[in-house]
Amino acid sequence: MSKLNTGINIFMSVVGGKWKCLILYFLSLQPRRTKDFYTLMPTITQKVLTEQLKQLEEAGLVKREVYKEIPPKVEYSLTELGLTFVPVLNTMCDWGNSYAVTQDIETNDNYCCHDKTT
């Protein structure tokens, strides 16, 4: 079976999965330290968070900055390429909110689309 190299397959290989879009969403609001993600996504494991951040960094969407402090401070933010994904996140969020209304699904008002303009 040949691999389909289509836009949707490429998209899914870069940002597919349970956590990557949420990580990108939170980074679209502001740079984050590792500990921030555990507060924002309390059920994510350290292993999974580390893997997801590394994959997003390898894809060029996230940059990792290590500050020369004791203890060392590590901060994650979106790259220029990562910022181009913010409109996609906003579209996904809008669709999810519309779907929630049509299906009578309660949403969490703490997380809103379009919190950051690019």
User: How does pLDDT run across 2-43, given as a tens digit for each residue?
Assistant: 577 899 999 999 999 999 999 999 999 999 999 999 999 999
State the Cα–Cα distance between residues 60 and 96, nearest whole angstrom: 26
pLDDT of residue 65: 97
State the Cα–Cα distance between residues 32 and 15, nearest whole angstrom: 18
Look up the pTM and report it.
Answer: 0.86
Task: For residue 118, name the pLDDT band (cuts at 50, 70, 90).
Answer: very low
- Cβ atoms of residues 37 and 2 within 8 Å: no
Q: Is the dihedral of CA 48, 15, 10, 54 positive or negative?
A: negative
pLDDT of residue 115: 56
User: How does pLDDT run across 63-85, given as a tens digit for each residue?
Assistant: 999 999 888 899 999 999 999 99
Q: Are strands 32-33 and 73-78 parallel, antiparallel or unpaired?
A: antiparallel
